[in-house]
């Protein structure tokens, strides 16, 4: 297996529990897991770049990425694979050097292309059936990203 130089993660259903929480005033909230955040920090300390990719576009994700000092935040894009391919060119690495974790259909293309791929335990069936994918024992928002990092990236 090629050396991992970049880890990417989806947000809803991966870094979060896929729940959409609304206050009476219409404010949207998301639940993140601190273990996942520490895992991403450990990757950075090991010299691995970090990226969050989400088709949503929310200030909540921008705040979380800022708090974690994520190297690359991409919001509101149509093709995650196109974005990561362009980032790989910029960094001078190949897709085989990328680890990615995601849970739903909008992650299918990128998960099918990267060198190391994983999904939370509660991912949709189509994602779990991608050849070579590592299926975590934990669900999204419950530490699945950290499990992936501990068991397959920083082992």
- Domain ranges for the chain: 1-49+64-97+139-155
User: By the 8 A CB rule, do 48 and 70 touch?
Assistant: no
- Decide if domain 1-49+64-97+139-155 falls under CATH 3.40.50.1000: yes
Secondary structure of residue 113 in the 3-state scheme: helix
Q: What is the pLDDT of residue 1?
A: 72
pLDDT tens, position by position, 55-101:
999 999 999 999 999 999 999 999 999 999 999 999 999 999 999 99
**Residue 117 — φ and ψ, nearest 5°?**
-130, 145
Query: How many CB atoms within 10 Å of residue 47?
Result: 8
CA distance 43 to 148: 11
pLDDT tens, position by position, 121-138:
999 999 999 999 999 999
């Amino acid at each position: 297996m090629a050396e991992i130089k970049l880890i990417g993660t989806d947000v809803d259903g991966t870094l979060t529990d896929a729940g959409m929480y609304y206050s009476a005033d219409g404010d949207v909230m998301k639940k993140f897991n601190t273990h996942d955040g520490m895992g991403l920090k450990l990757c950075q300390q090991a010299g691995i770049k970090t990226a969050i990719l989400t088709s949503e576009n929310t200030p909540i994700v921008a705040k979380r990425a800022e708090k974690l000092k994520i190297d690359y935040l991409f919001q509101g894009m149509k093709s995650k694979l196109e974005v990561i391919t362009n980032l790989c060119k910029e960094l001078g690495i190949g897709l085989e050097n990328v680890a990615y974790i995601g849970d739903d259909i909008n992650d299918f293309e990128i998960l099918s292309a990267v060198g190391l791929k994983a999904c939370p335990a509660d991912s949709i069936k189509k994602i779990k059936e991608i050849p070579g994918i590592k299926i975590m024992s934990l669900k999204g928002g419950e530490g699945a990203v950290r499990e992936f990092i501990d068991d397959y990236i920083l082992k």
